[in-house]
Amino acid sequence: MAIILDGKALARQVKQEVRAQVDAGGITPGLAVVIVGDNAASRIYVEAKKKDCAACGIASFEFALPADAGEAALLTLIDELNNRDDIHGILVQLPLPKGYSEQAVIQAISPTKDVDAFHFENVGKITTGDYIFLPCTPAGVMEILDHYGIDPAGKHCVVVGRSNIVGKPQALLLLHRHATVTICHSRTPDLAAMTRQADILVAAVGRAGLITADMIKPGAVVIDVAINRGEDGKIRGDVDFDGVAEVASHITPVPGGVGPMTRAVLLRNTLKAAQL
Ligand code: NDP
């Protein structure tokens, strides 16, 4: 049976570290969370972020716009937030409703307040390894690996998923740590042939049960980023946990793995933004 990589416990530790630094720092970091429209999932995430901030002594400011507010109003708000001294981090909850250009909105956020690290300037810096902020989810994965003494150097890491927010930056962070990296996606013809080569497998697709035990090299480390809500209301990852846990050496659970670490890294990024 694989060792469970307990992201929830590690996130608790990170939050305590952030809290201690906030208490010692004399400055109250401020995070603005902007939500447009009434997407139920986004609402849940925003509430969770506000709760996390409160637990760490970070001031959170919610800005809710109706779905039909329009991109110009959203850009005006971002401009205001860029210029406010009490707000150090700005996060726009994605996805945005139809009619908004997510790219235009992200690029309007000041790179020094871009705690999601989605701005082109931050993406470029992540590519060269000369970064201010790391994107929350891939950075959370790296912290889990580090905490459990799993060094990617020299390993073959296979990342399934190539999105701009998870797959691509994840591959880069592993590359920076001297892994040999393969990125798979929906056009990869024989996914299992790729995943079976992985010493470290990161699944970031969004399809429950995609990764089964026969796709895993015995002793591999398996990181499940995905959050899939089933019809029964339960959250599952991409990985068939029970089967894969019999073959892997280490595995993240869903929930309780990467998700809590993503939230913890956001808090750390907000603290860093305040310290800049
Ligand atoms: P996207 O939908 O943007 O990307 C999914 C990727 O999976 C795409 O690159 C797609 O390929 C690839 N893909 C789709 N089907 C297959 C397949 N059958 N075989 C191989 N690859 C496939 O999702 P995100 O990257 O935003 O998120 C991925 C998952 O992670 C989701 O479940 C999301 O909810 C979760 N997530 C979790 C977070 C956390 O905190 N734990 C944070 C962010 C996301 P192609 O590019 O060819 O379309």
Report d(CA 136, CA 261) in Å as an integer. 8
User: What is the 264 CA–ligand 1 centroid distance (Å)?
Assistant: 21
Catalytic residue among 15, 52, 93, 114: 93
Catalytic residue among 52, 114, 116, 199: 116
Task: Give the model's pLDDT for residue 41.
Answer: 86
- Ligand 1 binding pocket (C-beta < 6 A) is 137, 160-163, 165-167, 184-188, 191, 204-207, 210, 225-228, 258-259, 262
Strand boundaries in 3-120, DSSP class E? 3-4, 30-36, 59-65, 89-92
Report d(CA 114, CA 103) in Å as an integer. 13
Instruction: Let me know if 121 is exposed, middle or buried by CB neighbors in 10 A (0-12, 13-18, 19+).
Output: middle
Task: Give the model's pLDDT for residue 49.
Answer: 94
Q: What pTM was estimated for this model as a whole?
A: 0.97
Q: What is the DSSP letter of 65?
A: E
Would you write out the chain's pLDDT as a tens digit for each of its 276 residues? 999 999 999 999 999 999 999 999 889 999 999 999 998 888 989 999 999 999 999 999 999 999 999 999 999 999 999 999 999 999 999 999 999 999 999 999 999 999 999 999 999 999 999 999 999 999 999 999 999 999 999 999 999 999 999 999 999 999 999 999 999 999 999 999 999 999 999 999 999 999 999 999 999 999 999 999 999 989 999 999 999 999 999 999 999 999 999 999 999 999 999 999
| Residue nearest atom 8 of ligand 1, based on CA coordinates | 161
| Residue nearest atom 42 of ligand 1, based on CA coordinates | 137
Q: Which atom of ligand 1 is nearest to the CA of 238?
A: 32
User: What is the 269 CA–ligand 1 centroid distance (Å)?
Assistant: 23
User: What is the 268 CA–ligand 1 centroid distance (Å)?
Assistant: 24
Task: Give the model's pLDDT for residue 249.
Answer: 98
| Residue nearest atom 6 of ligand 1, based on CA coordinates | 161
Task: Give the model's pLDDT for residue 53.
Answer: 98
| Residue nearest atom 24 of ligand 1, based on CA coordinates | 163
User: What is the 254 CA–ligand 1 centroid distance (Å)?
Assistant: 15
Token pair for residue 116?
Answer: 């999601």
Is 120:107 a contact under the CB 8 Å cutoff? yes
Using alpha carbons only, how large is the chain's radius of gyration in Å? Answer: 19
Sequence-separated (6 or more) residues with CB below 8 Å from residue 90: 31, 32, 34, 78, 81, 82, 109, 110, 113, 114, 115
Task: Give the model's pLDDT for residue 25.
Answer: 86
User: What is the 160 CA–ligand 1 centroid distance (Å)?
Assistant: 8
- Concerning whether 155 is annotated as a catalytic residue, the answer is no
